[in-house]
Amino acid sequence: MKRSPELLRLADSVLLPGFEGRTPPDWLRRRLGEGLAGVVFFSRNVGTPSQLAELTAALRAERPDLVVGIDEETGDVTRLEAHTGSSRPGNYALGVVDDVSLTEEIARGLGADLAAAGINVDFAPAADVNSNPGNPVIGLRSFGADPALVARHTAAWVRGLQAAAVAACAKHFPGHGDTAVDSHHGLPGVAATLEQLHEVELLPFRAAIAEGVRMIMTGHLLVGAYDSEFPATLSPRILTGLLRDELGFDGVTITDAVEMAAVTERYGIGGGSARAIAAGADLICVGGENSDDAVVVTIREAIADAVTGGLLPEERLAEAARRVAELTVWTGSGPSAPVTSTSAGHPASAVRAAHGAAGLAAARRAIRVTRRAGVLPLVTAPHVAELSPQMNLAIDKDMPWGVGEPLSKLLPGTTVVRLDQESAGTSLDQAVLVPAADRPLVVVVRDAHRHAWQMAALDRLLGARPDGIVVEMGLPGRTDLGAVHIATHGAARVCGQAAAETLTGHLEAEI
């Protein structure tokens, strides 16, 4: 059968692509005018708040009711503040504090910022239970390893974000926490039994659904207890049988980035997209690494061909388009204001400042200190060595992080060196021990327990300098390292600030 213009338009209405640049390319303007569902923003699209508001206004000039999504988890995974580091700590830090009112406040402030920029969907919160500490892609993106804790903070995040008429999106269904493979690069397996899934992985998603979450994102996961053949994104048993029929979710289901290897290695980007819609997904997210018109054409034609070929019932495609349209109606019913507006009589700049203060306060509360040995507070400018591992693709590689910069403002004269795996293997003495010979030594790590080279570097440095201070800005696997061990539970800008305050005695952290 021939691809009719009507069928192609229907296929367009379930696509959410990314694009390059901070102004809309011509192809995107044209596609939006023809019925494309909307767009997803990445850090490459984001500059200042006013630029972002102008960008969304230009897109809405082509289609007023479009979906504008962004992957803004705060903390380590930020798009709004990828160039500066996040002014809000991430999920794990909030879970450590375990104050649901604080989590709701942080999410509400984020929702206000997103709404002011014209963004109506946020791909957050991560509702994954981080039950595998070696997980290469979730880690600090989770609220923690306790399902009940993750559930209550997931619900609080949904409440806060959706109070600003920004749709929350719980992810990565049915739970990416107990995996050992990054789905950007391969297909992770979830070995849990049905009983374990309902007691652990599914508990936060139930909480999100009960709270009225508007969107759920699928994980590219092989969940053998439900489907041993297809990953969740492509599985009718999981997206329809479990999510819709069993859990009762009636909102929009969106795929994780469909170009990820867990899908494309077997089905291709077009075939995977068509199978996802057939399985029960309503929106296809694409464009993190494939962001041009040719990709959109490939996917829309594959979806249309799946209808004409009998793989995808047209009524299923129409149902997906209807759910997306209903979502835009909901987001349009709540508060929305340009970035220059005021809130409750206060200038937008003051509102943003208040949100930033809440983020720093939360980061301070998340600090944990162990093994104090009389070396704090620092009164002499230290030498700081920051050991920088390769991060997963969800985290912008150029996002600033660390303790050195904020510490140098509190203790002028602080020196900083950053080492990767290669340089740490060859330069520890000259880059770290020699410059720190007559001053305090601070070693900053991220997920040290997951990287043998970081642990080897710590062994060498602390062996030579037992008075060395360790600042862990990832998941704290060991807290018995160094004369003092400081866990920030995140590498957001405010986490670095809170650690610097702790090092200099400006912050009395929990011991």
Kindly state the DSSP code that residue 11 receives in the 8-state scheme. Answer: H
Kindly state the DSSP code that residue 510 receives in the 8-state scheme. Answer: B
Number of C-beta neighbours around residue 390 at 10 A: 9
Q: How far apart are CA 304 and CA 317, in angstroms?
A: 9
Are the C-beta atoms of 60 and 331 separated by less than 8 Å? no
Written as one string, the DSSP assignment of 284-327 is EEE-SS--SHHHHHHHHHHHHHHHHTTSS-HHHHHHHHHHHHHH
Are the C-beta atoms of 133 and 79 separated by less than 8 Å? no
Q: Could you give the C-alpha distances from 252 to 73, 114, 121, 168, 216, in angstroms and in order?
A: 19, 19, 11, 11, 7
Helices and strands counted in the chain (H then E): 18, 18
Q: Could you give the C-alpha distances from 140 to 74, 166, 214, 345, in angstroms and in order?
A: 11, 23, 24, 36
How wide is the angle at C-alpha 56 spanned by C-alphas 50 and 59, nearest 5°?
140
Residue found under tokens 């997951």: 450
Active site residues: 184, 256
Written as one string, the DSSP assignment of 372-425 is --S--S--S--EEEEE-PPPPTTS-TT----SHHHHHHHSTT-EEEEE-HHHHH
H/E element holding 452?
helix 452-464
Q: How far apart are CA 52 and CA 206, in angstroms?
A: 34
Q: b/e string for 258-285 if b means 16 or more Cβ within 10 A?
A: bbbebbbeebbbbbbbbbbbbbbbbbbb
